[in-house]
Amino acid sequence: MASYLQAHIEQIAITLRNASSIAVLTGAGISAESGVPTFREAQSGLWSRFRAEDLATPEAFIRDPKLVWDWYAWRRQRVQAAEPNAGHVALARLQDKAARFRLITQNVDGLHQRAGSGDVIELHGNLLRSKCFDEAIVLADFDESHTPPRCPRCGAHMRPDVVWFGESLPVDALEEAVAAAQSCDVFLSIGTSALVYPAAQLPHAALTNGATVVEINKEATALSPHVQFSIRALAGELMPMVVRAAWPDD
Ligand code: BJW
């Protein structure tokens, strides 16, 4: 391993060990090594093959609910077949070690929870849940023989419980995420292009409040020039090394 990377791992490990409060924001990159596609990567990202305007807005769903439902059903199958990777597991371990810890994710795949993370703040919902398009009530029990299924309470279409472009984020989740970013002393931004708002504002809120911000990403992002540590690495490789360097003896 390059010696500069080893030096950074040690510095980040010390920063984490000394932190009284850690907040983490994850994006699609943390699940990439589980085989879940990201959104904006040039060759493999979902938005390189599909148009967000046709699939990830309320207007798209009104226009063609079957197309949108089927696309999410395909993605749900991929997520259900995937397993959490070493990056997810390292974050669950970090939660066990840290004095105060909040994990904020933009991901809708539930892989953090399956890796053992508790109390995850889901900013963009969860693909594995569905809700009524009209009443926005999450329901687990509905007849799946129609595409899309109908709400058993009011007959409207069911839709995935995710946040589409132009929709507000869940109020409680956003408030908790902002509070975590504003009160932490270390903030990790992992595997996100940091382009989608309001999530992209969170590391800046942490910086404004004096936190050390560490970015871990395969590539440079819009956030990179602003942070104290910007590390080019795969999350599933780097995060276990960082957590092991911080708490080596167990
Ligand atoms: C690795 C790696 C490895 C790979 N290790 N790294 C102009 C017009 C219209 C709207 C707006 C506008 N300007 C701003 C807005 C608001 C809009 C927005 O931000 N748009 C921007 C794109 C400009 N935001 C919204 O609309 C939000 N709502 C809102 O603001 O409400 C108020 C409002 C209403 C109306 C107008 C304006 C404001 C809602 C945003 C909802 C986002 N929804 C999605 C889809 C969720 C459901 C689904 O899954 O289908 O959320 S879009 C998609 O992007 C998904 C993600 O959570 C989100 C973020 O993506 P993420 O996670 O960063 O993924 P990528 O692919 O971008 O990046 C992956 C990174 O990982 C890369 O950098 C890789 O290098 C890296 N990587 N492998 C480490 N192994």
Cβ–ligand 1 distance for 88 under 6 Å, the answer: no
**187 burial type by CB count under 10 A (0-12 exposed, 13-18 middle, 19+ buried):** buried
Residues 128, 112: Cα–Cα separation, whole Å: 13
Determine the distance separating the centroid of ligand 1 and the alpha carbon of 14, expressed in angstroms. 31
Q: Which atom of ligand 1 is nearest to the CA of 194?
A: 63
Q: Distance between CA 190 and CA 216 in Å, rounded?
A: 5
Longest CA–CA separation in the chain, Å = 61
Token digits of residue 53: 């305007």
Pocket test for ligand 1, best of 25, 33, 39 (most atoms within 8 A of CB): 39
Residues in the chain, how many?
A: 250
Q: What is the pLDDT of residues 177-203, one digit of tens each?
A: 999 999 999 999 999 999 999 999 999
Distance, CA 142 to ligand 1 centroid (Å)?
29
> Out of 8, 112, 124, 157, which one is annotated catalytic?
124
Q: Are strands 101-105 and 22-26 parallel, antiparallel or unpaired?
A: parallel
Block residue for tokens 């493999």? 44
Q: What residues does 158 pair with on adjacent strands?
A: 132
Per-residue pLDDT of 98-151, as tens digits, reads 999 999 999 999 999 999 999 999 999 999 999 999 999 999 999 999 999 999
Percentage of the chain beyond pLDDT 90 is: 96
CB atoms within 10 A of CB 11: 16
Does ligand 1 have an atom closer than 6 angstroms to the CB of 56? yes
Active-site residue flag, 124: yes
Distance, CA of 67 to CA of 63 (rounded, Å): 9
pLDDT tens digits for 74-91? 999 999 999 999 999 999
Give the predicted TM-score (pTM) of the model: 0.97
Does 228 score more than 80 pLDDT? yes
Are the C-beta atoms of 192 and 29 separated by less than 8 Å?
yes
Rounded to whole angstroms, the Cα distance separating 57 from 55 reads 6
Does 105 sit in the ligand 1 pocket, CB within 6 Å? no
Question: Given ligand 1 and candidates 196, 218, 238, which is best to mutate, with the most ligand atoms within 8 Å of its CB?
Answer: 196
Q: Across all residues in the chain, what is the average pLDDT?
A: 96
The reply to whether ligand 1 has any atom less than 6 angstroms from the CB of 61 is no
Name the residue among 232, 200, 227 with its Cα closest to residue 213.
227
CA distances from 206 to 35, 36, 70, 231 (A): 30, 28, 38, 18
Nearest CA to ligand 1 atom 63: 192
| Token pair for 160 | 């995935």
- 218 ligand 1 Cβ < 6 A: yes
User: Ligand 1: distance of its center to the CA of 249 in Å?
Assistant: 38
How many other CB atoms are found less than 10 A from the CB of residue 220? 11
pLDDT band at 4, cuts 50/70/90? confident
Task: Specify the DSSP element, H or E, that contains 59.
Answer: helix 58-63
Distance CA 38, CA 78 (A): 13
| Cβ(37)–Cβ(44) below 8 Å | yes
CA of 17 to the centre of ligand 1 (A): 31
